[in-house]
Amino acid sequence: MRPVQSNPVTARLADIAAQAGVSEATVSRVLNGKPGVAAGTRESVLAALDVLGYERPVRLRRRSAGLVGLITPELENPIFPALAQVIGQSLTRQGYTPVLATQTPGGSTEDELTEMLVDRGVSGIIFVSGLHADTTADMDRYEQLRAQGVPYVLVDGFSPKVQAPFISPDDRAAMRLAVTHLAALGHTRIGLAVGPKRFVPVLRKIEGFTAAMEDSLGLTPVEAEALVQHSLYTLEGGQAATTALIAAGCTAVVCASDMMALGAIRAARQAGLDVPKDISVVGFDDSPLIAFTDPPLTTIRKPVTAMGQAAVRALLEEIGGTPAPHSEFVFMPELVVRGSTASGPAPK
């Protein structure tokens, strides 16, 4: 005789009931959408479904609260994917669906991406390092977006002309941390490799750098600015800027991104210098995997998780009709000391 097999539906109900700590009858009521089940009990049953790997019935699946656009620069710099991941996870937890729109050289512009997202009926948009950070850009585009009734939050870059929540790292404090660290190691000739001067984060880094150079080493702002090199936020940009700073006699270089810092290390090696024995290098961001470079990079850690979560909170408040303050939320960075910085050259 063949053994009588239990009904798979009954077995499944029993499994779910055991996992949720309720009766099979209660599980059945929840799955069939029947009334008379407490909200907490209903959530326990749905959680049990998820834990056991069962698919929720269509009627019980959480409805998306809507789409939220996220516009970022290119994703070659690993700090942007890291920030996008934090923002995406935070939105998903709140029932929203993130839509990532990335600018690429020769590709869609920020305005084109914004129009595409608005056409798709997004509930709001988060801009990361966009035109709002460019002091030469027309800020009217953001007011036009607000007139269309689309809430938005701006990350990395502040403009007093735009009435919206801004999320920024403290770029001035970051430079103070870097310069103070290098000065304490005995470096007296410290250079700064940054991006184009028209961007707000660049201007703030220069302000912090010159103030720290005056406080730590007694240099005037003019003397400190002579040790600033503008370039692109790329490995090649960092290499070009550092080559110039080495020629200017710098024994330490602070970079505006980790990618630039990797370029700085390449420039040092091409000049026959050892990092950190002959020249120290400090990055900015603490991008994923940067602790595993050769040498491991000393860097300024941008508070990516806190900034991403704050951007989502501010946007959801805007979407919910209780606007966040139209001001700037500034987050403190942190110095992470690794192997790319060491004592400066002994005085001759």
- The domain limits of the chain are 9-60, 66-169+304-331, 171-302
> What is the per-residue pLDDT for 320?
86
Residue 331 · residue 83 · CB < 8 Å? no
Same fold, 9-60 and 66-169+304-331: no
CATH number of 66-169+304-331, picked from 3.40.50.2300, 2.60.120.10, 1.10.3720.10, 3.50.50.60? 3.40.50.2300
> What is the per-residue pLDDT for 222?
95
Percent of the chain at pLDDT > 90 equals: 71
Find the range with the poorest average confidence among 101-115, 158-172, 223-237. 101-115
> What is the per-residue pLDDT for 6?
42
For the chain, give the mean pLDDT.
Answer: 90
Dihedrals phi, psi of 337, to nearest 5 degrees: -90, 125
Confidence of residue 62 (pLDDT cuts 50, 70, 90): low
User: What sections of 53-139 are H helices per DSSP?
Assistant: 79-93, 110-119
**Most confident of the ranges 45-49, 100-104, 185-189, 289-293:** 185-189
CATH of domain 9-60: 1.10.260.40
Confidence of residue 11 (pLDDT cuts 50, 70, 90): low
Residue 70 · residue 128 · CB < 8 Å? yes
Find the range with the poorest average confidence among 57-61, 186-190, 240-244, 251-255. 57-61
Residue 319 · residue 126 · CB < 8 Å? no
> What is the per-residue pLDDT for 270?
97
CATH number of 171-302, picked from 1.10.10.10, 2.160.10.10, 3.40.50.2300, 1.10.1060.10? 3.40.50.2300
d(CA 104, CA 23): 55
23 token code pair: 């009766």
Give every CB contact of residue 164 below 8 A, 6+ residues apart in sequence.
Answer: 142, 146, 152, 153, 154, 326
> What is the per-residue pLDDT for 48?
87
Mean per-residue pLDDT, 180-189:
97
Q: What torsion, rounded to 10 degrees, do the Cα atoms 284, 102, 127, 228 define? A: 30
Res. 218: pLDDT tops 80: yes
In terms of C-beta density within 10 A (0-12 exposed, 13-18 middle, 19 or more buried), how is residue 72 classed?
buried
Res. 33: pLDDT tops 90: no
Res. 306: pLDDT tops 80: yes
329 token code pair: 């939320």
Res. 191: pLDDT tops 50: yes
Higher per-residue confidence, 291 vs 33: 291
d(CA 333, CA 339): 19
d(CA 116, CA 122): 9
Name the residue among 39, 131, 153 with its Cα closest to residue 87. 153
> What is the per-residue pLDDT for 7?
47
